[in-house]
Amino acid sequence: MLLWDRSGNIARKRAPYAPATGRIGIPTSPPNIVHMPVIVAKKLGLYKKAGLDVDIVSLGDGVKV
């Protein structure tokens, strides 16, 4: 795995770190086809592979969004 420092230079591999956590909000309920890449990426483990611990949450629909 390559890491970059803040100036954009390739940094040396560092000690393991805790994965970054976050949420991805989907603005409809139920999700439709345009949201599938986010869901499929989670199911394939692509976020974990990139060092991210992501939760997908439904934001509801209509005025609630």
pLDDT of residue 60: 73
| Strands 3-4 and 10-11, bridge-based pairing | antiparallel
Q: In this structure, which long-range contacts are made by residues 16-19, counting pairs with CB atoms below 8 Å and at least 24 apart in sequence?
A: 17/51, 19/48, 19/51, 19/52, 19/53
Q: Residue ranges of the domains in the chain?
A: 19-64
pLDDT of residue 18: 66
Cα–Cα dist 8/19, whole Å: 21
Query: Is the predicted pLDDT of residue 62 greater than 80, yes or no?
Result: no
**Cα–chain-centroid distance for residue 39?**
10
- Per-residue pLDDT of 26-58, as tens digits, reads 887 777 888 888 889 999 999 888 888 888 888
**pLDDT top residue among 63 and 34:** 34
**pLDDT top residue among 41 and 19:** 41
**pTM of the complete model beyond 0.75:** no
